[in-house]
């Protein structure tokens, strides 16, 4: 038997694609905006200077200035904390609540399962943004209320996926062996079933993060978020729509930030799903 050289047997290294690399880099930068905004902009996002109102993008003001002379790049940087905070809370609420409801329905079945299925069908028939608007109308306006509304409107998707995963894993031999050994239903569900269902749920959470960014920005654009002068991304776009003829950058550049974050997050989520499928 002739042995092949080691360098021929080794698999070629596959470097990440350019879109994936750019998505990761952009997501890291935006996270830096959210946690350490002063490292990316030294300007005060709330300091107005009417003499600098509606200045075009330049070396001094990368994104230009708004109608009050505030630095628009600084407002986008500091607004990342508000927007991503609301998005993270929304996805966490949907993930936890949906996983618990779907896991209980799929594990115990019976009336709980039938009620969940009917509830999910009803909620899935309503557009998510419309449902979030109805919820936030009942809760009131604000960043936290937006997060709750977006999170509650997304619970149905996670509950349906969690129920399907629990039904898929509950008949496995190691789960039935644990039941025969006397392990309680709740312990068996939380220790042996839900951890195996975590992969698809986390992949859905990553994909839903992009939708939540868009939903939070849309609700903030409609005036349901934090009041001015807080620099939420949706509010920045809403403020600039009255100046689009004389200051195109006022709405365009914050809108491009939101679009870039959504596209980057979607690409990262799809790459995560592909890795999970390959595994």
- What confidence tier does 278 reach under pLDDT thresholds 50, 70, 90? low
- Whether this model's pTM surpasses 0.75: yes
- As a whole number, the mean pLDDT across the chain is 84
**Cα–Cα dist 43/56, whole Å:** 16
Residue count of the chain:
279
Upstream peptide bond of 229 is cis (omega within 30 degrees of 0): yes
Query: So what's the pLDDT on residue 258?
Result: 93
Q: Distance of CA 160 to CAs 85, 192, 194, 254, 263, Å? A: 25, 19, 14, 34, 25
Least confident of 127-136, 187-196, 213-222, 243-252: 187-196
pLDDT digits (tens, 9 = 90+) for 197-226: 788 888 889 889 989 999 999 999 988 988
Taken in order of first residue, the domains within the chain and their CATH numbers are 17-32+63-278 (1.10.3720.10)
How many CB atoms lie under 10 A from the CB of residue 167? Answer: 17
Q: How confident is the model at residue 9 (pLDDT cuts 50, 70, 90)?
A: very low
Greater model confidence, 15 or 111:
111
User: Is a pLDDT exceeding 90 seen at residue 72?
Assistant: yes
Q: Is the pLDDT of residue 126 over 70?
A: yes
Provide the pLDDT for residue 279: 56
Q: Angle at CA 172, nearest 5°, toward 169 and 173?
A: 155
Q: Is 70 exceeded by the pLDDT of residue 4?
A: no
Q: Tell me the C-alpha distance between 220 and 214, whole Å.
A: 10
- At residue 184, the pLDDT reads 67
The pLDDT tens digits for 152-171 are: 999 999 999 988 888 887 77
Examine the pLDDT at 3 and tell me if it is beyond 50.
no
The tens digit of pLDDT for each residue in 230-244 reads: 888 999 999 988 898
Q: Please choose, from the candidates 99, 92, 111, 114, the residue with its C-alpha nearest in 3D space to the C-alpha of residue 161.
A: 99
């Amino acid at each position: 038997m002739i042995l092949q050289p080691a360098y021929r047997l080794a698999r070629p290294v596959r470097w990440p694609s350019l879109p994936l690399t750019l998505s990761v880099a952009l997501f890291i930068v935006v996270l830096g905006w959210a946690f350490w905004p002063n490292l990316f902009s030294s300007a005060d996002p709330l300091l107005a200077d009417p003499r600098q109102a509606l200045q075009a993008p330049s070396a001094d003001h990368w994104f230009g200035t708004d109608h009050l002379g505030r630095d628009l790049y600084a407002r986008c940087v500091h607004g990342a904390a508000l927007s991503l905070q609301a998005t993270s809370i929304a996805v966490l609420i949907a993930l936890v609540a949906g996983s618990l409801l779907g896991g209980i329905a799929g594990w115990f079945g019976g009336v709980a399962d039938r009620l969940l299925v009917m509830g999910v069908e009803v909620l899935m028939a309503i557009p998510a943004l419309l449902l979030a608007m109805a919820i936030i109308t009942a809760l009131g306006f604000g960043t936290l209320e937006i997060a709750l509304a977006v999170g509650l409107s997304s619970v149905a998707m996670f509950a349906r996926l969690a129920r399907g995963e629990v039904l898929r894993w509950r008949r496995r031999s190691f789960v039935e062996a644990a039941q025969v050994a006397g392990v309680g239903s709740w312990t068996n569900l939380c220790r042996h079933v839900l951890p195996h269902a975590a992969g698809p749920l986390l992949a859905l959470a990553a994909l839903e993060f992009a939708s939540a960014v868009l939903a939070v920005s849309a609700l903030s654009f409609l005036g349901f978020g934090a009041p001015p002068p807080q620099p939420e991304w949706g509010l920045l776009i809403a403020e600039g729509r009255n100046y689009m003829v004389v200051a195109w950058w006022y709405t365009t550049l914050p809108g491009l930030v939101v679009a870039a974050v959504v596209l980057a997050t979607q690409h990262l989520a799809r790459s995560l799903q592909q890795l999970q499928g390959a595994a």
